[in-house]
């Protein structure tokens, strides 16, 4: 009934069982044989990544396995090249200033019809650009 099971089938080698459901309506079945211990991560990573991306709300791994099927899972494992890293659209940078500096920045920003955040980003960009160009201001 396990959603995922490992059964030793030789020295440092395992049989992987998948597909059991928490409510015990479906038993796990053998998914792969003779998977070496050092290769387990290469099998599980694409399966768990795909489950995280494509599962339905509150869908267990066992139910997901039954819905997707072993054929698709084997294809995922065979073609897996790792998680595609996409850079975040925005990076967070928290700055702390004393009250007087913040108030001065806020006043200057209002004069320019900007938020203090927008002005701070502009000031930082200009400073970084000047440093990269070999100028020090």
108 in the same domain as 70:
no
- End position of a domain, from candidates 34, 52, 79: 79
pLDDT tens string 46-78: 999 999 999 999 999 999 999 999 999 999 999
**Number of folded domains that form the chain:** 2
Confidence at residue 136, expressed as pLDDT on a 0 to 100 scale:
53
pLDDT tens string 80-128: 988 777 777 777 777 778 899 889 988 999 999 988 888 888 999 999 9
Q: Is the pLDDT of residue 137 over 60?
A: no
Of 125, 54, 48, the C-alpha closest to 80 is 48
Whichever domain contains 18, its CATH number is: 3.30.413.10
Confidence at residue 40, expressed as pLDDT on a 0 to 100 scale:
95
102 in the same domain as 68:
no
Q: Which domain holds residue 53?
A: 4-79
Q: How far is CA 16 from the centre of its chain?
A: 24
DSSP 85: P
68 in the same domain as 11:
yes
If DSSP codes are grouped into helix, strand and coil, which group holds residue 5? strand
94 in the same domain as 57:
no
66 in the same domain as 8:
yes
70 in the same domain as 12:
yes
65 in the same domain as 22:
yes
15 in the same domain as 63:
yes
131 in the same domain as 72:
no
20 in the same domain as 65:
yes
Residue 75 belongs to what H/E stretch?
Answer: helix 70-79
Confidence at residue 43, expressed as pLDDT on a 0 to 100 scale:
95
- Pairwise CA distance, residues 50 & 48, whole Å: 5
8 in the same domain as 61:
yes
96 in the same domain as 75:
no
pTM: 0.59
Q: Is the pLDDT of residue 32 over 60?
A: yes
């Amino acid at each position: 009934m396990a959603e995922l099971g490992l059964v030793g089938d030789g020295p440092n080698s395992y049989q992987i069982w998948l597909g059991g459901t928490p409510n015990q309506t479906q038993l796990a079945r053998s998914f792969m044989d003779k998977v070496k211990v050092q290769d387990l991560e290469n099998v599980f990573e694409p399966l768990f990544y795909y489950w995280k991306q494509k599962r339905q709300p509150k869908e267990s791994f066992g139910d997901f396995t039954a819905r997707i099927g072993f054929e698709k899972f084997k294809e995922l494992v065979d073609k897996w090249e790792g998680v595609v890293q996409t850079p975040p659209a925005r990076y967070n940078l928290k700055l702390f200033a004393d009250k007087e500096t913040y108030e001065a920045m806020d006043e200057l920003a209002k004069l320019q019809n900007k938020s203090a955040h927008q002005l701070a980003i502009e000031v930082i960009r200009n400073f970084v650009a000047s440093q990269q160009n070999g100028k020090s201001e």
